[in-house]
Amino acid sequence: MNRLQFNGLETRPSQVWGGVRLVPLVREEPIASLRLHHRAIDPDEPECCADLYYMPHGLVAEWTDDGTAVPAVGTALQMPAATVRRSRNPPTKLERRTRVRFVPHQTSLEAYLPLSFRGPAIAWGEWSRLALAHVLPRTAAPRFTGEEIAGLQDALRVFEIHPGQCGVLVYVADALSGAFITPHPDDYRALHPTLVHDCYGELIWRYAFTYPETRDFTVHFDASVVDDLSGLRAQADRVRDEWRRFHDETMAAGLLEAEYAFTEAYRMAGHTLWRFRPRFERGREAHVGEAIADADGRLAYLHSFRLSETQIRNGQLLQHLSEQDWNLERAAAAMGLVVPQLVARLDAAGYAALFRQDVVDRFRAMNVRYGR
């Protein structure tokens, strides 16, 4: 698995509002054995504290072990949840878990790139304690919620949701900002409003203000071959197919034709949760995200985020470190830098906590001494 594919999904004609274009994705057959919903933490569940609190845009996935349909959400929410455990013989109650929560989108972006590279085992404990005790270091690249993207909130409010729609691709000034796919139409209808709580990069924010209007595509029918309703239907099918090919091969090429490194994060019965990251090349469109695929390779879930140029540079930095086994001297040499310069970049990216404090402090002192 090195590419994303919209298996089982059909692209429908887009809808345009100002500079925002939403492209619906429709399933012929919903995936009923995995369901997503938006849920605040329930204090009655064993791993939660006594106070009820709310995690913004935190999704919950529920599934069945035998491929049967997940019960209606109101019923499924009564199922107990527990800490994830790996296989043991015989299986315990904890291992029969059929629910897992996703980290909220805003929080997951702070840690996604370093986590996808599986950092050094010795230093990773320090990184985890930092994340739990305080917050994950923020990158220099600014992020904006959907409320700050001009026109997006109105577009989500007024656009039609198609029958069978399970996903959407969001474009701003015809730049693909992200994709969101769910297993079932009911899941999408429930989660459609939460897209305004997603995060978007500075590029998308600037495009929304710089290009307030996007041209819609004009439909052209060949009237000479339309004599009855069947002819009109054939022309509609032709136009729909032309749009689908144009969209998938041109507009979404940056997402669908790119090669990704996939990391298996979790298995849930017949489904697998993957994290993916691109090849970090400056000047090229790059997306990161999470996806759940079933045994047939169908995308049950997808949530992607378009990286800014700053985040691409950070990804390249982590890639060099990972390739050199997190050795500062070797990584600096591979990048054509000296170690103090590399440490300065780590500080700017917020990744210095991945390394021993005394080592980083020594090279920081060298930067101060020589005015770098």
Res. 81 pLDDT band, cuts 50 70 90: very low
- Does a structural domain hold residue 127? yes
- Does a structural domain hold residue 84? no
Fill in the amino acid letter for 358.
D
**Residue 166, Cα to own-chain centre: how many angstroms?**
16
Structural domain ending residue among the three candidates 298, 317, 336:
317
Instruction: Answer whether residue 64 shows pLDDT above 80.
Output: no
- Please count the structural domains in the chain: 2
* Pair 251, 330 in one domain: no
Phi, psi torsion values for 218, nearest 5 degrees: -90, 135
What is the distance between the alpha carbons of residues 187 and 208, in angstroms, rounded to a whole number? 28
- Does a structural domain hold residue 171? yes
Instruction: Answer whether residue 62 shows pLDDT above 90.
Output: no
% of the chain at pLDDT higher than 90: 23
- Does a structural domain hold residue 86? no
pLDDT, position 78: 33
pLDDT, position 73: 46
Q: Higher confidence at residue 104 or residue 90?
A: 104
Would you state the structure tokens that stand for residue 86, as one six-digit string? Answer: 């790996």
pLDDT in tens, 282-292: 888 999 888 99
Q: Give me the domain span that covers residue 336.
A: 324-369
pLDDT, position 199: 82
Q: For residue 59, what are the β-bridge partners?
A: 38
Instruction: Answer whether residue 157 shows pLDDT above 60.
Output: yes
- Does a structural domain hold residue 132? yes
pLDDT, position 307: 86
What is the distance between the alpha carbons of residues 29 and 25, in angstroms, rounded to a whole number? 12
- Does a structural domain hold residue 77? no
Instruction: Answer whether residue 46 shows pLDDT above 50.
Output: no
Distances 44 to 48, 52, 72, 174, 212 between C-alpha atoms, Å: 7, 9, 20, 45, 47
What is the distance between the alpha carbons of residues 116 and 245, in angstroms, rounded to a whole number? 32
Q: What is the rounded average pLDDT of the residues 148-155?
A: 91
pLDDT, position 24: 95
Instruction: Answer whether residue 253 shows pLDDT above 90.
Output: yes
What is the distance between the alpha carbons of residues 247 and 227, in angstroms, rounded to a whole number? 29
* Pair 333, 299 in one domain: no
* Pair 275, 343 in one domain: no
* Pair 148, 174 in one domain: yes
Helix spans in the chain (H): 73-76, 105-116, 121-133, 152-158, 185-191, 202-210, 229-246, 253-256, 309-323, 328-334, 339-349, 357-369
pLDDT in tens, 306-363: 988 888 888 888 888 888 888 899 999 999 999 999 999 988 887 887 777 777 888 8
Q: Is the dihedral of CA 25, 29, 34, 39 positive or negative?
A: positive
Poorest-pLDDT segment among 21-35, 114-128, 190-204, 321-335? 114-128
Q: What is the rounded average pLDDT of the residues 202-224?
A: 85
Distances 372 to 62, 141, 355, 369 between C-alpha atoms, Å: 51, 21, 20, 8
pLDDT in tens, 191-200: 898 888 888 8
| Averaged pLDDT of the chain | 77
* Pair 232, 338 in one domain: no
Nearest by Cα to 347 from 128, 137, 135: 137
Q: Higher confidence at residue 39 or residue 34?
A: 34
What is the distance between the alpha carbons of residues 67 and 64, in angstroms, rounded to a whole number? 6
> At how many degrees (to 10) do helices 309-323 and 339-349 cross?
130
- Does a structural domain hold residue 361? yes
Q: Higher confidence at residue 312 or residue 219?
A: 312
* Pair 328, 310 in one domain: no
Contact 96, 262 (CB under 8 A): no
pLDDT, position 129: 61
Contact 210, 173 (CB under 8 A): yes
Fill in the amino acid letter for 197.
H
* Pair 301, 211 in one domain: yes
* Pair 340, 297 in one domain: no
pLDDT, position 84: 36
pLDDT, position 107: 56
Res. 71 pLDDT band, cuts 50 70 90: low
* Pair 257, 294 in one domain: yes
What is the distance between the alpha carbons of residues 345 and 195, in angstroms, rounded to a whole number? 32
Instruction: Answer whether residue 37 shows pLDDT above 80.
Output: no
The pTM of this model reads 0.78
Q: What is the rounded average pLDDT of the residues 267-286?
A: 85
Instruction: Answer whether residue 364 shows pLDDT above 70.
Output: yes
What is the distance between the alpha carbons of residues 104 and 112, in angstroms, rounded to a whole number? 12
pLDDT, position 114: 62
pLDDT, position 110: 58
In the three-class reduction of DSSP (H, G, I as helix; E, B as strand; rest coil), residue 237 is classed as helix
* Pair 222, 335 in one domain: no
Poorest-pLDDT segment among 59-73, 180-194, 239-253? 59-73
* Pair 331, 192 in one domain: no
Q: What is the rounded average pLDDT of the residues 81-95?
A: 41
Structural domain ending residue among the three candidates 276, 294, 317:
317
Poorest-pLDDT segment among 224-238, 261-275, 352-366? 352-366
- Does a structural domain hold residue 336? yes
* Pair 219, 357 in one domain: no
